[in-house]
């Protein structure tokens, strides 16, 4: 047998073996049974509840705490509540990119009475709000964990704008050009609504991708539109997930927006928008730290690859820097997604020490199926892909005619949605409208019409 013939045979057998291995892996990745919700529990053949409940993190403790973050008095922000300006001598505080207003002034503007200070209680004809402590309150029969908490400063109690929005059923519109904030009525009073439980049906996951205080979402008008997206999802009882990049870097434009250092109304508006979306049913996860390396731009470049932050110490630095930022800003994070799914096997193992839920495929051989590892991490892929060229027809068709056993999981860049949203504030109410050809509307309609129940990654571990 000639040498060339031997080479051809060996090459053919190698290709066949690889194809066979891939085919077997694909088969077991794909045919794993439908994932459904029944009686408030996520169920499926590929979900091992016992293993998920046995997960143990490495116990990393952030070098930052929210409680220890500095408090500053600021005087350059103009704030109005229901079209009434705050008194000129009103002290405004800033902590962890959140603005705080004296609670007594808020109550006065909104016709609430402070009936007790120890413990703090406020009320009007409809609401009774009892503050269990500075971080938790009961609104009628519902418990609410404050996003910013109550600050006691110079014998006066201050409350964050994020918490004012939720507790009093309001929406704050930040305006960077006028350095102002208008707090107006909301279309939805979330504080009076119970959080929607898991509904019976076939599971779906939707993730809003590449959310960062840079590019489109640095603009305060777009931040308001992002709030409209949150309200729209809440109105339709749809849980959603947010892949957040904590630090935005654009080397060519000399931008390094570190939220722990750069204090301005745009960054405060961004954190306020994240708080708002959390209260709309959103769940935040880390999408790297900067989502870039070297001279690339955040959300464009990669950050965890065999060539980028490849050593163990570098990989841990990416994860821990992101956690340190989220902790200091009091943004809870419950999953991790490596930028562009480029993390190596070893990098994923390290990520898994910090996060049980990794919102990406386990490997190229297990690209579309759920995967629980020996360390009890759960990998959650997005087999439906993402919206390309502003065309949702392909994904909508997959939602209408789902492939049996295929996880209905997708992601969407909400920056594409901004052009389809209009806002107005008639009668001092936060009003919004999605155009008929809105991409998100088509996705939401497909989810609702076909009986899907959307979940967060951590819902896979519910009992």
Which two structure tokens, joined as six digits, stand for 245? 């990049």
Q: How far apart are CA 26 and CA 18, in angstroms?
A: 12
Which two structure tokens, joined as six digits, stand for 61? 């403790």
255 close to 461: Cβ distance less than 8 angstroms: no
Angle at 35 between CA 33 and CA 36, to 5 degrees: 130
354 close to 16: Cβ distance less than 8 angstroms: no
Coil, strand or helix: which one is 384?
coil
pLDDT by residue (tens digit) across 326-372?
999 999 999 999 999 999 999 999 999 999 999 999 999 999 999 99
121, 151, 185 - which closes a domain: 185
State the pTM of this model. Answer: 0.93
**Residue 379 backbone dihedrals phi, psi, to 5 degrees:** -95, 130
133, 155, 185 - which closes a domain: 185
| Whether residue 52 sits in one domain with residue 201 | yes
Give the residue carrying structure tokens 């919700």: 37
pLDDT by residue (tens digit) across 19-40?
444 444 444 444 556 899 999 8
User: pLDDT higher for 12 or 211?
Assistant: 211
Please name the helix (run of DSSP H) or strand (run of DSSP E) that holds residue 230, with its range, or none: helix 220-235
pLDDT by residue (tens digit) across 192-207?
776 778 889 999 999 9
Coil, strand or helix: which one is 118?
coil
| Whether residue 180 sits in one domain with residue 199 | no
| Whether residue 217 sits in one domain with residue 118 | no
The greatest distance separating any two alpha carbons of the chain, rounded to the nearest whole angstrom, comes to 97
| Whether residue 220 sits in one domain with residue 147 | no
What domain count does the chain have? 2
Give the residue carrying structure tokens 């016709």: 111
The answer to whether position 32 is within a domain reads no
> What's the domain range around 102?
72-185
337 close to 357: Cβ distance less than 8 angstroms: no
Please name which of 353, 355, 334, 434 lies closest in space to residue 392, comparing C-alpha atoms. 434
Contacts 24+ apart (CB under 8 A), 115-120: 120/150, 120/157
pLDDT above 90 for 299: yes
């Amino acid at each position: 047998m000639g040498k060339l013939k031997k080479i051809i045979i060996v090459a053919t057998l190698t290709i066949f073996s690889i194809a066979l291995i891939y085919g077997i892996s694909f088969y077991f990745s794909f045919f794993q049974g439908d994932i459904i919700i029944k009686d408030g529990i996520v169920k499926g053949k590929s979900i091992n509840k016992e293993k998920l409940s046995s997960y143990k993190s490495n116990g990393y403790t952030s070098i930052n705490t929210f409680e220890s973050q500095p408090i500053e008095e600021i005087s350059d922000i103009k704030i109005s509540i229901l079209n009434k300006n705050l008194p000129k001598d009103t002290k405004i505080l800033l902590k962890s990119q959140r603005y705080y207003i004296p609670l007594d002034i808020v109550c006065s503007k909104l016709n609430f009475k402070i009936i007790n200070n120890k413990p703090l209680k406020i009320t009007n004809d409809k609401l009774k709000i009892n503050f269990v402590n500075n971080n938790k309150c009961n609104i009628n029969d519902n418990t609410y964990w404050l996003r910013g908490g109550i600050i006691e400063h110079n014998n006066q109690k201050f409350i964050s704008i994020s918490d004012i929005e939720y507790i009093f059923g309001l929406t704050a519109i930040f305006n960077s050009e006028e350095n102002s904030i208008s707090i107006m009525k909301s279309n939805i009073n979330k504080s009076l609504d119970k959080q929607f439980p898991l509904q019976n049906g076939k599971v779906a996951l939707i993730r809003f991708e590449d959310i960062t205080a840079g590019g489109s979402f640095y603009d305060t008008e777009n931040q308001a539109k992002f709030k409209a997206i949150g309200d729209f999802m809440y109105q339709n009882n749809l849980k959603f997930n947010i892949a957040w990049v904590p630090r935005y870097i654009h080397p060519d434009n000399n931008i390094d927006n570190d939220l722990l250092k750069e204090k301005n109304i745009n960054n405060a508006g961004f954190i306020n928008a994240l708080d708002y979306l959390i209260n709309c049913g959103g769940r935040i996860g880390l999408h790297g730290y900067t989502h870039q390396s070297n001279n690339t731009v955040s959300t464009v470049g990669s950050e965890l690859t065999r060539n980028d932050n490849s050593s163990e110490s570098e990989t841990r630095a990416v994860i821990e820097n992101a956690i340190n930022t989220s902790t200091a800003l009091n943004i809870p994070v419950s999953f991790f997604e490596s930028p562009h799914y480029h993390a190596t096997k070893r990098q994923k193992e390290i990520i898994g020490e910090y996060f049980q839920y990794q919102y990406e495929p386990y490997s190229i051989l297990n690209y579309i199926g759920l995967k629980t590892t020996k360390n009890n991490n759960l990998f959650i892929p997005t087999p439906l892909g993402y919206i390309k060229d502003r065309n949702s027809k392909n994904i909508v068709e997959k939602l209408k005619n789902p492939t049996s056993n295929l996880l209905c999981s997708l992601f969407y860049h909400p920056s594409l949605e901004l052009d389809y949203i209009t806002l107005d504030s008639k009668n001092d109410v936060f009003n919004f409208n999605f155009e008929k050809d809105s991409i998100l509307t088509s996705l939401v309609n497909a989810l609702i019409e076909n009986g899907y129940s959307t979940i967060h990654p951590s819902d896979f571990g519910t009992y």
